[in-house]
Homo-oligomer: A and B are copies of this chain.
Amino acid sequence: MTIARAAAGSGTPRGRRPGRSPGDHRERAILATAERLLRHRAFADISIDDLARGAGISRPTFYFYFPSKDAVLLTLLDRVTEEADAAAAGVLDRVAEDPPARWRELIRRFHDTFGAHRAVAVACAQVRGTNAEVRDLWAAVLERWVRCTEAAIEAERRRGAAPDGLPARALAIALNSMNERVLYATLAGDGPAVAEADVVDVLLDVWLAAIYRGAAPPPA
């Protein structure tokens, strides 16, 4: 299964045609300001006024481009998850060629993508608690990844590389949830965390143990 986006689109929020208009420039400026401020301040500590001023407009004008502060973050999240999807695309289709290397590649790419946008990732994790749209978007993204993982585990089982055991879906949920939480703790430095240099290998180790049960998986 290849990761494919379900046209979550959400393109330009207001009724302007996409392309080269003065308003398009402003919209980008707001998004850039948000990502910039997020590097030094928590999302809750950034006001709409900060975003507007950073983009060189007044607060009411902000509302011409986005319906709320949360919508800005949602757009940012959408971009990042799109990037992560692209980075992960196809990796799992070739798991059998060299299982440990492929699984590692998958985990590493997620780590790299979210590491490159950690300000956005951290802000989304923080806001997910209070904002239903962010929560739902993230849930949908995670669901896609869970399904990919599930399909790959089942494929490994079919070719006899992985033993049966837990339902593939339950296992896929547990492993992806672990990755989310561990990666977040590492990137945000929040709570007990694994060192950033080790985190990919630690996660990989648990994935392989849970999927293959100690038996070294044979390449196809």
Contacts and interface: CB of A to CB of B under 8 A. Distances in A.
A130 to B, nearest CB: 5
A171 B214 contact: no
A155 interface: no
A51 to B, nearest CB: 18
Interface string A156-175: 00000000011000110111
B210 A213 contact: no
A158 B144 CA distance: 41
Contact of A205 (B139, B166, B191, B193): B166
A143 to B, nearest CB: 5
Contact of A182 (B44, B166, B173, B215): B173
B130 A165 contact: no
Interface residue range, chain A: 35 or more
A164 to B, nearest CB: 12
Contacts of A182: 173-174, 177-178
A194 interface: yes
Contacts of A32: none
Given A173-B193, A178-B177, A192-B139, A209 B213 contact: yes
A181 interface: yes
Interface string A123-165: 0011111100001001100110010000000000000000001
B126 A192 contact: no
Given A130-B126, A166-B205, A178-B174, A190 B44 contact: no
A1 interface: no
A213 B163 CA distance: 13
Interface of A: 42, 44, 125-130, 135, 138-139, 142-143, 146, 165-166, 170-171, 173-178, 180-182, 185, 190-194, 198, 202-203, 205-206, 209-210, 213-215
11 contacts: A125-B129, A138-B191, A139-B192, A142-B192, A165-B205, A171-B205, A176-B192, A181-B181, A206-B206, A210-B210, A214-B214
